[in-house]
């Protein structure tokens, strides 16, 4: 029974890890593709080949290992088993630290049909004169993460990519013409300005609105603090009153109010606190010598003292 429970826990842990891995891989997408490479980016061997750029849309590091890249549309046949489908695709090897894509970063694969040259060299080529369908599959070989159809006859050294990294809604465009640049392993759109800040500058050139907003934020914060302290103080005061009523054996709130139970002045508590402090800290004057002053009774009569010349009344 004990082993069975351990087995169930291990299976659940593996399932959770698998789900997390799948969710991470789902944030990967095909971001840019260059088919006809004549004078563009070179690989590690100095060759000009077609390349495919993968982008991590999430804000966490994603490992693309064990995923698949392919340009064979036969893998779309749902009748195929996972092994049959995997045989038609390029499996991205594991064990390479470079397969870990940092948050919002890119990874480049070379479509040169030379997988022996390294982990990032695919087992297929792209045809510049035809449409090229490219797909990215998850590690299970059945889940399609992303796919794209690159138009045929693109200009030489021009790529086909998203206008904004990882944002499908931004649309696809031919990079390398109309003021757009081919950007392997970097952002498709250069973020050299902040549109929101620029718009705010146009609407509020003197900063009056910004100053008012800042003051409102500060005053709202102070108001929230006042309300919070007021509530906390009220709760503390109620607790003190209840403790005082319990100490005096009073249960009626009206009676406690008439006797002013729990409403002692702050001076009383301050005096008690100071007395306790002096008692605990031994705060008092240390006297090494004790002086005793006794009144000396004069048995003589100075010339200017007439008290001793008066007759004393006898005691009955």
Tell me, yes or no, whether 266 and 125 share the same domain. no
Q: Is residue 11 part of a domain?
A: no
Q: Is residue 265 part of a domain?
A: yes
pLDDT of amino acid 21: 45
Buried b (16+ CB within 10 A) or exposed e, 159-171: bbbbeebbeeeee
- The residues near 198 (Cβ < 8 Å, ≥ 6 apart) are none
User: Mean pLDDT for each 10-residue chunk of the chain (316 residues)?
Assistant: 61 55 77 95 95 95 96 94 94 94 95 96 96 96 95 95 92 90 88 72 84 94 95 88 81 76 72 84 63 61 61 66
Tokens 């009153």 locate to 241
Give me the phi and psi of 261, to 5 degrees please: -75, 130
Tell me, yes or no, whether 69 and 116 share the same domain. yes
Beta strand pairing call for 159-162 and 90-91: unpaired
Buried b (16+ CB within 10 A) or exposed e, 196-227: eeeeeeeeeeeeeeeeeeeeeeeeeeeeeeee
Q: Is residue 199 part of a domain?
A: no
Is residue 148 within 8 A of residue 170, CB to CB? The reply is no
Helix residue ranges per DSSP H, the chain: 2-25, 82-86, 195-203, 208-248, 253-258, 266-281
- Which residues, listed in sequence order, are joined to residue 134 by a DSSP beta bridge? 148
Is residue 79 within 8 A of residue 20, CB to CB? The reply is no
Report residue 159 as tokens. 């790529």
What Rg, from alpha-carbon coordinates, does the chain have?
Answer: 44
Tell me, yes or no, whether 186 and 74 share the same domain. yes
Q: How many angstroms separate the CA atoms of 135 and 119, rounded?
A: 17
Q: Is residue 217 part of a domain?
A: yes
Tell me, yes or no, whether 187 and 107 share the same domain. yes
pLDDT of amino acid 280: 80
Tell me, yes or no, whether 222 and 95 share the same domain. no
Q: How many angstroms separate the CA atoms of 74 and 87, rounded?
A: 11
Tell me, yes or no, whether 34 and 136 share the same domain. yes
Beta strand pairing call for 106-111 and 132-137: unpaired
pLDDT of amino acid 106: 96
Tell me, yes or no, whether 175 and 250 share the same domain. no
Tell me, yes or no, whether 175 and 230 share the same domain. no
Tell me, yes or no, whether 83 and 127 share the same domain. yes
- Tell me the Ramachandran region of residue 195: left when phi exceeds 0, alpha when psi lies from -120 to 50, beta otherwise: alpha
Tell me, yes or no, whether 135 and 239 share the same domain. no
Tell me, yes or no, whether 162 and 240 share the same domain. no
- Which residues, listed in sequence order, are joined to residue 174 by a DSSP beta bridge? 160
Q: How many angstroms separate the CA atoms of 269 and 288, rounded?
A: 33
Tell me, yes or no, whether 177 and 230 share the same domain. no
pTM of the model: 0.58
pLDDT of amino acid 56: 96
Q: Which domain holds residue 262?
A: 208-281
Is residue 92 within 8 A of residue 69, CB to CB? The reply is yes
Q: Is residue 202 part of a domain?
A: no
Report residue 248 as tokens. 């005096």
Q: Using CB atoms within 10 A of its CB, is residue 119 exposed (0-12), middle (13-18) or buried (19+)?
A: middle
Report residue 57 as tokens. 């849309």
Q: Is residue 135 part of a domain?
A: yes
pLDDT of amino acid 175: 94
CATH code: domain of residue 130? 2.60.40
pLDDT of amino acid 147: 96
Structure-derived torsion over alpha carbons of residues 66, 67, 73, 77, reported in degrees to the nearest 10: 70
Number of domains composing the chain? 2
Is residue 188 within 8 A of residue 179, CB to CB? The reply is no
Q: Is residue 173 part of a domain?
A: yes
Closest CA to 257 of 272, 241, 246, 277: 241
Is residue 262 within 8 A of residue 241, CB to CB? The reply is yes
Domain end, chosen from 164, 192, 220, is at 192
Q: Is residue 44 part of a domain?
A: yes
């Amino acid at each position: 029974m004990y082993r069975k429970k351990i087995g169930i826990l291990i299976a659940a842990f593996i399932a959770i890890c698998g789900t997390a891995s799948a969710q991470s891989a789902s944030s990967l997408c095909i971001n840019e593709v260059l088919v006809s490479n004549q004078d563009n980016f070179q690989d590690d061997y100095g060759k000009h080949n077609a390349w495919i750029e993968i982008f991590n849309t999430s804000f966490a590091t994603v490992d693309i290992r064990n995923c698949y890249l392919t340009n064979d549309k036969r893998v779309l046949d749902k009748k195929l088993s996972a092994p049959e489908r995997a045989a038609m695709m390029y499996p991205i090897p594991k064990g390479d630290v470079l397969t870990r894509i940092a948050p919002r970063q890119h990874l480049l694969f070379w479509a040169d049909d030379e997988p022996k040259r390294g982990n990032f060299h695919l087992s297929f080529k792209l045809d510049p004169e035809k449409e090229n369908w490219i797909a990215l599959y998850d590690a299970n070989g059945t889940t399609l993460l992303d796919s794209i159809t690159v138009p045929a006859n693109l200009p030489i050294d021009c790529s086909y990519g998203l206008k904004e990294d990882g944002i499908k809604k931004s649309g696809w465009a031919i990079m390398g013409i109309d003021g757009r640049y081919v950007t392997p392993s970097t952002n498709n759109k250069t973020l050299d300005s902040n549109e929101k800040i620029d718009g705010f500058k146009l609407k509020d050139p003197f900063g009056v609105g910004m100053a008012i907003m800042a003051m409102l934020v500060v005053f709202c914060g102070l108001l929230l603090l006042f309300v919070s302290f007021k509530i906390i103080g009220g709760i503390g005061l109620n607790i003190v009153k209840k403790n005082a009523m319990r100490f005096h054996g009073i249960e009626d709130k009206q009676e406690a109010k008439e006797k002013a139970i729990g409403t002692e002045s702050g001076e009383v508590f301050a005096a008690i606190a100071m007395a306790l402090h002096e008692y605990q800290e031994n705060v008092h004057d240390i006297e090494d010598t004790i002086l005793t002053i006794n009144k000396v009774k004069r048995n003589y009569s100075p010339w200017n003292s007439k008290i001793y010349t008066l007759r004393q009344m006898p005691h009955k």
